[in-house]
Amino acid sequence: MSLLTERQQQREIEERNRLRKLLEDADFKAVIETHAGRRFVRRLLGECGTHRGTFAESDRLSAFLEGKRAVGLWLQSLFAEYPGFYILLLQEGVSDDAD
């Protein structure tokens, strides 16, 4: 395979990755732009135990809880590009809990 072909393939891979990232970002934004989407994400973050410890008496249970927490941390990291929506999610959580 020639160097030119390898570079072209690398550019195509990078372009596909860039487009996939744009689509994933658009999907996430479409969810968090709605009250129902933010409510679902808030429940999901709560279920993941992002802000709870993962220590348990069983190593297996600790590993399971740490896996859930890792998913929650990943989900929470998606808000880095949309901090205003994360603040809104938290504010709505407080007001929903008060109702």
Query: pTM (2 decimals)?
Result: 0.83
Q: Which of residues 42 and 3 earns the better pLDDT score?
A: 42
Phi/psi of residue 88, nearest 5 degrees: -60, -40
Per-residue pLDDT band at 21 (split at 50, 70, 90): very high
Residue 95: predicted pLDDT: 86
Name every residue whose Cβ is closer than 8 Å to that of residue 85 and which is 6 or more positions away in sequence: 29, 32, 33, 38, 79
Number of domains the chain contains: 1
Contact 66, 50 (CB under 8 A): no
The whole-number pLDDT of residue 99 equals: 67
Residue 33: give the domain boundaries: 3-98
φ, ψ of residue 47 to 5 degrees: the values are -65, -35
62 with 55: CB under 8 angstroms? yes
Number of Cβ atoms within 10 Å of the Cβ of 26: 9
